[in-house]
């Protein structure tokens, strides 16, 4: 889970201000008692309120998500949760039903015809090797090889001139280096006063919590794919 946590934080750190604010709101909505931590009860209640996330609403996943030795989720744990929901990280469709942190096998036919991540069939390596799954299709690829296969299929469909142009270095571009407007502290450098530098919310909480829709941000994050895709390199 630590690798996922680092990946999620990397996306958050480089995300546009609007997306960082959505992540902040996601955390604040879940933290109902406003103690800057998310308890198991708060987590389960929030996840169960949205039908697309009920599969995440279980104590075992909560225990995997939180840092070792902690009883509750902190902000970085919730950033990781946000990334898991957005990216469609799967749970095993085999016997174990566990959250898959690393490599997994995907049914190619289901992947090709899926309207969203929920319609794919994914199996962890252990269940795949042991044959502990039931499915009507035979062709499976691991997630890395599947990505490479789709990349090659896409390249084979492009004219040679387009492939050449895509490999040419871009000119006249300037990198975006300003993240000074970030709504959170993004470094773990020690402060001169010795105070804690833990990453915590710094945006003020909305005063009228009762007037806010509890699932506003989770509905937003489910539609974030196009926003992220427009800022990242795509191969398909």
Question: pLDDT tens string for the chain (236 positions)?
Answer: 888 999 999 999 988 998 889 889 989 999 999 999 999 999 999 988 887 778 888 899 999 999 888 999 999 999 999 898 888 888 999 999 999 988 999 999 999 887 766 688 999 999 999 999 999 999 999 999 998 988 888 888 876 555 555 555 554 444 444 444 444 434 444 444 444 445 555 455 555 444 344 444 444 444 454 444 444 443 33
- Measured between alpha carbons, how far is 34 from 31 in angstroms, rounded to an integer? 5
Would you say residue 134 lies in a domain?
A: yes
Written as six digits, the tokens of 68 are: 């070792």
Q: Where are the alpha helices (DSSP H) in 88-207?
A: 108-113, 125-130, 143-156, 160-167
Q: What pLDDT score does 109 carry?
A: 92
3-state secondary structure of 114: coil
Domain count, the chain: 1
* Residue 111 within any structural domain of the chain: yes
Give the pLDDT confidence score for residue 140 in this predicted structure.
95
Residues present in the chain in total: 236
Q: Look at residue 21 and tell me if it is in a domain.
A: yes
Q: What is the pLDDT of residue 198?
A: 56
In a domain, 13, yes or no: yes
Cα–Cα distances in angstroms (integers) from residue 213 to residues 47, 52, 164, 206, in the given order: 14, 17, 49, 12
- Continuous segment of H or E residues that includes residue 123: strand 122-124
CB 72 within 8 A of CB 209: no
Global pTM reads: 0.63
In a domain, 29, yes or no: yes
Which two tokens mark 26?
A: 């996601």
The residues with which 204 forms a beta bridge, in sequence order, are none
Q: Is residue 222 part of a domain?
A: yes
Label residue 220 exposed, middle or buried (CB < 10 Å: 0-12, 13-18, 19+): middle
Domain residues for the domain of 152 are 2-156+214-231
Dihedrals φ, ψ of 225, to 5°? -55, -45
Please give the backbone phi and psi of residue 106, each rounded to the nearest 5 degrees, phi first. Answer: -120, 140
In a domain, 94, yes or no: yes
Identify whether 177 is part of a domain: no
What's the pLDDT at 139? Answer: 93
At 116 the pLDDT is 67
Distance, CA of 25 to chain centre: 15
């Amino acid at each position: 889970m630590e690798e996922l946590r680092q990946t999620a934080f990397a996306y958050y750190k480089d995300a546009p201000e609007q997306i960082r604010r959505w992540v902040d709101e996601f955390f604040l909505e879940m933290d109902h008692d406003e103690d800057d931590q998310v308890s198991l009860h708060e987590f389960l209640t929030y996840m169960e309120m949205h039908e697309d996330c009920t599969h995440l609403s279980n104590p075992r996943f909560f225990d995997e998500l939180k840092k070792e030795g902690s009883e509750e989720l902190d902000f970085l744990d919730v950033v990781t949760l946000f990334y898991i929901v957005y990216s469609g990280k799967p749970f095993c469709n085999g016997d174990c039903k566990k959250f898959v942190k690393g490599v997994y096998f995907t049914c190619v036919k289901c992947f090709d015809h899926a309207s969203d991540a929920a319609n794919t069939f994914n199996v962890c390596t252990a269940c795949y090797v042991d044959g502990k799954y039931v499915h009507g299709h035979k062709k499976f690829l691991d997630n890395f090889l599947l990505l490479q296969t789709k990349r090659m299929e896409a390249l084979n469909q492009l004219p040679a001139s387009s492939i050449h142009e895509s490999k040419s270095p871009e000119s006249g571009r300037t990198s975006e280096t300003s993240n000074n407007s970030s709504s959170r502290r993004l470094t773990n450098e020690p402060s001169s006063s010795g105070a804690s530098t833990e990453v915590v919310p710094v945006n003020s909480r909305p005063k009228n919590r009762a007037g806010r829709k509890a699932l506003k941000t989770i509905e937003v994050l489910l539609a974030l794919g196009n926003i992220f895709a427009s800022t990242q390199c795509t191969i398909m």
